[in-house]
Amino acid sequence: MDALKAQAFAVRRANFPDEIKFFAPGLKHYAIPEFEQKNPLAFLPISLTGSACALDCDHCNKKILEPMIPLDPKEGLFSMCEKLAKKGTESVLISGGSKKTGEVPFMKHIDDIRRVKEELGMRIIMHTGLVLKESEAIALKSAGVDGVAIDIIGSNDTIKEVYHLDATVEDYDRSLALLSAHGLSLRPHIILGLHYGKFVGEYAALDMIAKYPVHSLVIVILVPMHETNMWGVDPPDTAEVSEFFFRARLKMPDTYLMIGCARPLGEYKKIVDRAAVEAGINGIAYPAEGIIELSESMGLHPTFFENSCSCGS
Ligand code: SF4
């Protein structure tokens, strides 16, 4: 493992400047000596479907939608963003619950999405779910969105048993192919331990993503949540998580790798955040205590952003 770690960090050094990015979007209060949030409304997540979702994924049960601002269909997305912009919001994550097909129903809002971009100049990251129609990739591109985040699952068993979705790994591959072919800036996500805390399709997802020119890869870790079928499940083993970081660095040597905000807290977080820095990861959301000192001790200059790591800066 030490040899793998050293190899990974050497690859990082060879491909990136000696800087590391730290993200603290205003979704939760975050204050450390080196970094205090100044504009908690700078980046906000919007759910196009409110708290509604046709899938009841075992790890989520719609809970991911709770901290998002629910769209009021009567008001409309543009008018909603106009109000947010007046309050200081610069970037939005546009997401929502899925249809039974695993797709987030964003097409009926595509004109508003274009106006939010063109008239308000907001940065827009879409979290789409599966994208299986070419027309949708074309529409996203012409709307001018800054990036597309999409959770990639590398196992048919996980798609069926966790997401209860009648889809296959090939559908995720096709989504990446369509979005990439139409020049969308991709920020795919991998959830480590998605299959009840166990590694099942993570490396297959990594291999799939590595085929495409992506803006960045965002790695998150299962957080077993209350009122979900995974409450009480152990998150994945930190050694397995660390190894994944090292191998992801080697597999995608010149792609920005980010650790997203979803990961277990406490000692677990300290261990995996440390492994992330040592693996040569480029950015971490809400870094654990001591991680900035560690980064500096490894010759990495920290920069701070009140944005989501999916924004990248
Ligand atoms: S589709 Fe998304 S919002 Fe719906 S339950 Fe699954 S993870 Fe949660």
Task: Kindly tell me if the per-residue pLDDT of 312 is higher than 80.
Answer: no
Cβ < 6 A, ligand 1 pocket: 53, 55-57, 60-62, 64-65, 97-98
How much is the average pLDDT of 73-86?
A: 97
Query: What is the architecture of the domain spanning 2-305?
Result: Alpha-Beta Barrel (3.20)
For residue 59, the CA-to-ligand 1 centroid distance in Å is: 8
Q: State the pLDDT confidence band at 68, using cuts at 50, 70 and 90.
A: very high
Q: Tell me, what's the pLDDT at 37?
A: 85
Q: Determine contact, residues 87/115, Cβ cutoff 8 Å.
A: no
Q: pTM value?
A: 0.96
Task: Kindly tell me if the per-residue pLDDT of 11 is higher than 90.
Answer: yes
Q: Determine contact, residues 25/285, Cβ cutoff 8 Å.
A: yes
Neighbours of 170 (CB within 10 A): 11
Q: Which of 49, 60, 99, 195 should be mutated for ligand 1, with most atoms under 8 A from CB?
A: 60
Element (H, E) at 114: helix 110-120
Q: Take atom 8 of ligand 1 and give the residue whose Cα is closest.
A: 62
| Residue closest to 248 by CA, chosen among 295, 199, 210, 201 | 210
For residue 63, the CA-to-ligand 1 centroid distance in Å is: 8
Q: Tell me, what's the pLDDT at 145?
A: 98
Q: Tell me, what's the pLDDT at 97?
A: 97
Q: Determine contact, residues 59/225, Cβ cutoff 8 Å.
A: yes
Q: Determine contact, residues 43/89, Cβ cutoff 8 Å.
A: yes
Q: Tell me, what's the pLDDT at 310?
A: 87
Task: Kindly tell me if the per-residue pLDDT of 313 is higher than 70.
Answer: no
Q: State the pLDDT confidence band at 187, using cuts at 50, 70 and 90.
A: very high
